[in-house]
Amino acid sequence: VPLLSFADVDRIRTVLVRAGHAWTRPRAAVLSVLVAAAVPLKVEEIHAQLGRRGGGRTVNLSSVYRTVNLLRGLGVVRPVRFGDGAQRFELAEDDREHHHHFVCERCGRVEDVRPCPVEGVDLELGGLAVRSHHLELFGLCLGCAPTEPRDRVGV
Amino acid sequence: VPLLSFADVDRIRTVLVRAGHAWTRPRAAVLSVLVAAAVPLKVEEIHAQLGRRGGGRTVNLSSVYRTVNLLRGLGVVRPVRFGDGAQRFELAEDDREHHHHFVCERCGRVEDVRPCPVEGVDLELGGLAVRSHHLELFGLCLGCAPTEPRDRVGV
DNA sequence: TTCAATGCAAAAAATTTGCATCCCA
DNA sequence: TGGGATGCAAATTTTTTGCATTGAA
């Protein structure tokens, strides 16, 4: 579980304001959920958590969509895709060190992967100027992998 | 543009039949589109191409969805995501050498990327058993990159 | 006070499903 | 010929949008 940070929210608030947008209760609420999230969240998951947090009042689902889209446009959040059809979002690299995800195909557990496996490798592409990439890994986590001599070996 | 191959369709037909499914006109039509495709296609794009090809008769959009889902379950096709929300499909590795995609952020051009940049790199993950991965690269293609001394250098 | 942001409902877009009919095996 | 596959329409699911009202600056 990552450390929550008020500093993150503050910095992002500045990004919003500098871009000419208002700092409103719904936007602050959505961001507080994203800052506290350990894994990428679906819009509906963000919306659900807003029910509990957010100090009582809720945020309309449309507003969550609008806020997420705004934040994506500003580069504050980025979309993440696991194998299922769903679209998830997490804070972008300004607030989270560049990383990828490992998703357990059996239990769905998500783990951050760093360092990035494609660090400087992308460069041999005949002139294509690579500026970013999406990578996710799939497989079996420790708990789900078929029991191996691992435990006996002490790893 | 990759070479079309009747052999691909034949092999896949066998996969279908062995799994207890029928070889039907709609399924053959969808597959012929996928085999001929140079880039991953959206379901609606497959459906659109079926209009022209397919020898006149068309295939219902629902059937395209059902066929694609079936093929995905059988591992014949795999989903691909570029930055936009859309879901695309292409033949899986049994019929297409393992590869990834580079997408030009300006003109949308798609190019295959091989060899795979994360070839054996994934293995240092503290016991996580990686079985597959999704990777796409984004940036600017040769035509869209800001003009560089490149042309003068002769690359 | 003003104009952007929100809530709400309705619209679009994307995908799935029920069911009568059709057609591959 | 029997049961899975298809077409068609309707239902879901996901996301966007129009508009009156609210609220941040």
Q: Which residues contact B61 (CB under 8 A, 6 or more apart)?
A: B43, B44, B47
**Average pLDDT of B68-97?**
94
Task: Report chain A residues whose CB lies below 8 A from the CB of B142.
Answer: 126-128
**Average pLDDT of B96-114?**
93
Q: Is the model's pLDDT at A98 over the cut of 50?
A: yes
Q: Is the model's pLDDT at B14 over the cut of 60?
A: yes
The long-range contacts involving B35-41, CB below 8 angstroms and separated by at least 24 positions, are B35/B4, B35/B5, B35/B8, B35/B9, B35/B91, B35/B95, B36/B4, B37/B90, B38/B1, B38/B2, B39/B88, B39/B90, B39/B101, B39/B110, B40/B80, B40/B82, B40/B88, B40/B89, B40/B90, B40/B101, B40/B110, B41/B88, B41/B89, B41/B90
- What gap in Å lies between CA A26 and CA B75, rounded to an integer? 42
Whether the CB of B65 is less than 7 Å away from nucleic strand C comes out as: yes
Closest CA to B115 of A135, A125, A119, A131: A125
Nucleotide nearest B17, CA–C1', reads C25
- What gap in Å lies between CA A68 and CA A58, rounded to an integer? 16
Q: Is the model's pLDDT at A59 over the cut of 90?
A: yes
For residues B99-134, one letter each, b for 16 or more C-beta atoms within 10 angstroms of the residue's C-beta and e for the rest, the string is ebbbbbbeeebbbebeebbbeebbeebeebbbeebb
Q: Among A84, A112, A128, which would you mutate to test the B interface (most chain B Cβ atoms within 10 Å of its Cβ)?
A: A128
Task: Report chain B residues whose CB lies below 8 A from the CB of A81.
Answer: 81, 134
**Average pLDDT of B122-127?**
71
Q: Which two tokens stand for residue A58?
A: 């809720």
CB A119 within 8 A of CB B124: no
Task: Report chain B residues whose CB lies below 8 A from the CB of A127.
Answer: 142, 145, 150, 155
Q: Is the model's pLDDT at A117 over the cut of 60?
A: yes
- Of A149-153, B11-15, B30-34, B85-89, give the lowest mean pLDDT range: A149-153
For residues A98-112, one letter each, b for 16 or more C-beta atoms within 10 angstroms of the residue's C-beta and e for the rest, the string is eebbbbbbeeebbbe
Query: Can you give the distance from the CA of residue A141 to the C1' of nucleotide D16 in angstroms?
Result: 38
Q: Which residues touch strand D (CB under 7 A)?
A: A 17, 22-25, 42-44, 61-62, 65-66, 69, 86-87; B 21-22, 24-27, 57-60, 62-63, 66-67, 85
End-to-end Cα, chain B, rounded Å: 22
A-facing residues of B in 17-56 (CB < 8 A) are none
Nucleotide nearest A60, CA–C1', reads C7
Query: Can you give the distance from the CA of residue A145 to the C1' of nucleotide D16 in angstroms?
Result: 42
What does the pLDDT read at residue B122? 56
- Of A27-36, B6-15, B142-151, give the lowest mean pLDDT range: B142-151
Q: Which residue is nearest to nucleotide C23 (CA to C1')?
A: B24
CB contact under 8 A, A138 and B139: no
- What gap in Å lies between CA A127 and CA B136, rounded to an integer? 16
Position B40, amino acid = P
Q: Is the model's pLDDT at B151 over the cut of 60?
A: no
pLDDT digits (tens, 9 = 90+) for B64-82: 999 999 999 999 999 999 9
Q: Work out whether strand A129-140 and strand A100-104 pair parallel, antiparallel, or are unpaired.
A: parallel
Closest CA to A80 of A72, A70, A71, A90: A90
pLDDT above 70: percentage of residues in chain B? 86
Q: Which residues contact B95 (CB under 8 A, 6 or more apart)?
A: B5, B8, B11, B12, B35, B76
C chain positions with any atom within 7 Å of a protein CB: 4-10, 14-18, 23-25
A133: nearest CB among B125, B138, B142:
B138
What does the pLDDT read at residue B147? 67
